[in-house]
């Protein structure tokens, strides 16, 4: 069941309210008895793991530093 909480009360109990939201409870914040907002937990964002596709096979020489001639060819 959703609990209605006055905004002033929510200010003083925010830490407690957030702990309860983390456990799945929902709250409606009201000002002068009029509902103005709802607080509920968000669904965790599913993390996407990158790097799942294999890269091209590279020769070991790929990782060696470029020669002065190769650097000059690249304008470096």
Higher pLDDT, 45 or 8: 8
Domain spanning 1-42, CATH class: alpha beta
pLDDT at 73: 93
Instruction: Decide which of 65 and 52 is more confident.
Output: 65
Domain ranges of the chain: 1-42
Residue 9 host element (H or E): helix 7-12
Which helix (H) or strand (E) element contains residue 12?
Answer: helix 7-12
């Amino acid at each position: 069941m959703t609990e209605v909480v006055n905004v002033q009360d929510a200010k003083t109990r925010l830490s407690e309210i957030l702990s309860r939201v983390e456990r799945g409870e929902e709250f409606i914040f009201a000002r002068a008895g009029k509902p103005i907002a709802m607080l509920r937990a968000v669904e965790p964002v599913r993390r996407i793991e990158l790097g799942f596709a294999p890269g091209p096979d590279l020769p070991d020489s790929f990782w060696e530093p470029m020669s002065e001639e190769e650097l000059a060819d690249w304008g470096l």
